[in-house]
Amino acid sequence: MLYRHFRTGLFALLAASVGPGLGNARAQGGDRTVTIEKPDVQVRSRPSLKSDIVAPAPTGTVLAVMDRQETWLWVLLPPDVNGTRHPGWIRSTDLGAPGDEPDVTDPNAEKEAKKKAAEEARQQQKQQAQENERLKQEQAKAAQQAKRDAEAERKLKEQQAAEERHLQEQQALADRKAKQQQAEEERRLERAKRELDKAKQEFEKVAKTETSEPAK
């Protein structure tokens, strides 16, 4: 009975001396164990490679998993010669097959993953917003260019229409002048014809008069 109390007190003393996380550690499935399948695994006093080595864990050592801190597992070693089970820390990567690792959720890893996913989402949103802004600017530039092209085309059509009107006016003026000249020429010819007819009539009249007079 005295030995049992001594062993319990020694375990509590060891748990208090290991470091942060042990005082409030939970025995998440006290019968959950892992088996070391890699050589040269060391159980350490704290979740750090710089901490002291509690004991080696040869291949085949069965450890009880009590808690987890990031990638480190808080475990209990098998009983020593005195029946004492010493606690310590090992890395989850020190285990063998991934299936042997206890299914313990790592809140820090989840937070980091969520943080990374949120940052990636923000980056994607930022890139999408930048792309949308670029497309908007390009569309605005294209609209302005189309407006300028339409204005230039409108002015060109107005210029062409003005030139056509000018040509039509010149052609109409030339036609009027030609008609006036033709009418004037016709009137001149008509006058010349009348004068010629008159002169012919007078000549015939004189010739007839001279023919009808008796010779002296």
Give the span between the Cα atoms of 100 and 98, in whole angstroms: 5
Residues 6+ apart with CB under 8 A from 56: 40, 41, 42, 43
CA dihedral of residues 133, 139, 143, 149 (deg, nearest 10): 130
Domains of the chain: 2-103 (2.30.30.40)
pLDDT in 10s for each residue of the chain, 216 residues: 333 333 334 443 344 333 333 333 333 334 588 888 888 888 999 999 889 999 998 888 899 999 988 889 999 999 988 888 999 999 988 876 444 444 444 556 667 778 888 898 999 999 999 999 999 999 999 999 999 999 999 999 999 999 999 999 999 999 999 999 999 999 999 999 999 988 888 888 887 787 766 655
The whole-model pTM stands at 0.34
Give the span between the Cα atoms of 130 and 207, in whole angstroms: 113
Give the span between the Cα atoms of 19 and 213, in whole angstroms: 172
